[in-house]
Structure 1
Amino acid sequence: MTSRKLSKPADLPDDLRPILADWLLAAADDVFLLGHRNSDWTGLAPMLEEDLAFSSIAQDEIAHAQAYYLLVSELTGQPPDKLAYGRSPVQYRCAHLVERTDDFDWARAVVRQFFYEHYGWLRLQRMVRSAYQPLAELSGKIAQEEKFHLEHLDDWAVRLGTGTDESRTRAQRAVDKLWPDALCLFEPVDGEQRLVEAAIFPSAGCDIRRAWFEEVSRVLDRAGLTVPSADGMDRSSCPPGGRRGVRSESFGELFAELAEVYRIEPDARW
């Protein structure tokens, strides 16, 4: 494990740059697709206050994706727009959870974001300690906004679980449906252990899956919702999935919508 700080791409060993780029793409793709999924709720959330809040969260996620794509661009020389819109589906590294449509079911949208926020927060706690300074600095800024997201989604999970019979039923249905995808948020990209050894993605010092399960369970207990089985929490990896380019059935229509304008004229300047 290295103890020296790495302040620019040239400081990275040659063999680690493509691994870091792939890993950053996973982080970027996650929040890029999640932000776009959440933006579908603009003008449709249950109340005006939440319409503003959820739209703001969607904007934050897309802005965070842009920042990650800029880091990847510095490593690879590829323009951020091409990274966001110009790859083939198998080149995306997002988890299946963020691809899933919510079918305009508010409880499902909330639970999807809730599961992701707890994962993202644990990941950020490692990223702020990265030996790669650009990543550490960016993560510190993102964490300030993500803390608000986390608290907001925790409140909504409890609100749905302790609300009406219908809200509780919908919330429990969403938890059960999305649970398998949530467990696979932790699927590593190829070579990720090398980043851990180099302190670019520092070791969590604990079982991060177990930490996620405990935090999610704590909130779901408060909400009066049943926590699904912990079976599978101790797996070292998921079957090959989103991090390795295997796309879910939900990805196609979302990707077509996202890339429609870019593909008309990829080299356009705005």
Structure 2
Amino acid sequence: MMEEMLTNPLATLILAHADDKLLLGHVQSDWTGLGPILEEDIAASAMAQDDLSHALMLYQYLGERYGLDPDVIAFEREPSDYLCCDLVTHPDDFDWADALVKRWLIAVFTSLGIDRLSTVDDKDLAARCNRIKPEQALQIKHLDAWIQRLGRGNEESNARLQSALNRTSELAGMLFEVPGHRVAEQPDVACGRDEMFNQWLDSIQQTLASAGLTAQFTLPERGVTGGRRGQHASHFHEQLDEMTEVRRLSPGATW
């Protein structure tokens, strides 16, 4: 059940990705109708929908293994049992440059994480991850193109994107915090944190160099505790309260 899931090393790793997807899909849906151009308005909504779908696939996997309703996993845990990185819910103040940079950094991380989960010796989990991969790749292709388009665009677009990177880069390292404050040890797939960070950094820096942008990223010290271990910033709690409001008003309601 819930306690067993929250103390299982592999389950918490899956939860971290599912929670990232759930909260990111919720936050990014705020951009529906507000994109700077119609193309990006539609793309933002489509990516948010993808994120929610991917979260559901992972919650369903966990639900089948621990006898839990996926909606209960998604909406009825204690706040400290959500394992998303706080970068996901960090406010963008409806500055599209901030929203773009945040989504891009998270998308590249997620792609690497889903690749790793697909190597776990579990055919069902691998199949779900393999369904997510191509959609994640399309997101990255779209976001990479915008980073390069704005970085190379003109002085204003480059400056605004660089400012967004400066505001966001110091938070990005917490994506790599090992999840699960109730877990004594992590599975092999989570142990290559440094290797995964270097892969992520290579991909990010390659795109930034092509776009004429710069940023410095560092891994947090292993003793630093954040959202992946249940210690969330106030903006997470605000988003969680908003996202679960209907569920709390009518627990167990169905369509």
> With structure 1 as the length reference, what TM-score do the two structures score?
0.86
Q: Secondary structure at the match of 1:178?
A: helix
Structure 1 residues 222 and 18: CA distance shift in structure 2, 3 A: same
Structure 1's 246 and 141: CA in aligned 2 closer, same or farther, altered over 3 A? same
Counting aligned pairs with the same residue, the percent is: 37
Given that 2:5 and 2:66 are in contact with CA atoms closer than 8 Å, whether structure 1 keeps it comes out as: no
Is residue 162–residue 214 contact of structure 2 (8 Å, CA) maintained in 1? yes
Contact 2:20 2:88 in 1 (8 A): yes
CA pair 192-120 structure 1, distance change in 2 beyond 3 A = farther
Give the alignment partner of residue 67 of structure 2, picking from 62, 65, 77.
77
The structure-2 alpha-carbon separation of the partners of 1:112 and 1:75, relative to structure 1 and needing over 3 Å to count, comes to same
Q: Secondary structure at the match of 1:69?
A: helix
Q: Secondary structure at the match of 1:95?
A: coil
How is 1:198-209 mapped onto 2 (pairs within 5 angstroms)? Answer: 201=189, 207-209=195-197
- Structure 1 residues 203, 240: closer, same or farther in 2, change over 3 A? closer
Matched residue, 1:124: 114
Match of 1:42 in 2: 32
CA 1:22 to 1:224, structure 2 compared with 1: closer, same or farther past 3 Å? same
Listed as ranges, the matches of 1:239-258 within 5 Å are 239-258=224-243
Residue 194 of structure 1: CA displacement? 3.8
What secondary structure, in the 3-state scheme, does the structure 1 residue paired with 2:215 have? coil
Given candidates 15, 40, 48, the residue that maps to 1:25 is: 15
Q: Any idea what the Cα deviations from partners look like across 1:19-65, whole Å, max 9, x if unmatched?
A: 22222211110011111111111111011111111110110001000
CA distance in 2, matches of 1:82, 1:15: 13
- Retained in 2: the 8 A contact 1:221–1:227? no
- TM-score, with length taken from structure 2: 0.91
Please tell me whether residue 195 in structure 1 is matched to residue 187 in structure 2. Answer: yes
Structure 2 counterpart of 1:85, which letter?
A: F
* CA shift in 2, pair 1:48/1:92, >3 Å: same
Does the aligned pair in 2 maintain the 1:111–1:175 contact within 8 Å?
Answer: yes
Cα distance in 1, alignment partners of residues 190 and 170 from structure 2:
26
Taking the aligned partners of 1:112 and 1:50, their CA distance within structure 2 comes to: 15
Cα offset, 1:66, TM superposition: 0.7
Which of 211, 214, 218 is 2:206 aligned to?
Answer: 218
Deviation at 1:129, TM superposition (A): 1.4
Tell me how far 1:160 sits from its aligned partner.
1.7
**Pairing of 1:152-231 with structure 2 (within 5 A):** 152-190=142-180, 191=183, 194-196=186-188, 201=189, 207-228=195-216, 230=217
Matched with 1:9 is none
CA 1:77–1:71: 2 relative to 1, 3 Å: same
- In 1: Cα distance, 2:5 partner to 2:70 partner: 22
Indicate the SS of the match to 2:252: coil
Cα 1:206–1:89 change in 2 (3 A) is: closer
What count of residue pairs does the alignment treat as equivalent? 251
Show the counterpart of 1:145.
Answer: 135
Per mean C-alpha deviation after superposition, the further-off stretch among 146-155 and 159-168 is 159-168
Corresponding letter in the other structure for 2:222? S
User: Over residues 80-117 of structure 1, what are the superposed CA-to-partner deviations in whole Å (9 max), with x where a residue is unaligned?
Assistant: 11111112211110001101111100000100011011
Q: Distance in 1 between matches of 2:55 and 2:184?
A: 20
Cα distance in 2 between the residues matched to 1:236 and 1:123? 20
Superposed displacement of residue 252, structure 1: 2.1
The amino acid of 1:257's aligned partner reads: E
1:264 CA displacement = 0.6
* Aligned residues of 2:178 and 2:190 also touching (Cα < 8 A): no
Query: Is residue 176–residue 193 contact of structure 2 (8 Å, CA) maintained in 1?
Result: no
Structure 1: tracts of 5 or more residues without a match: 1-13
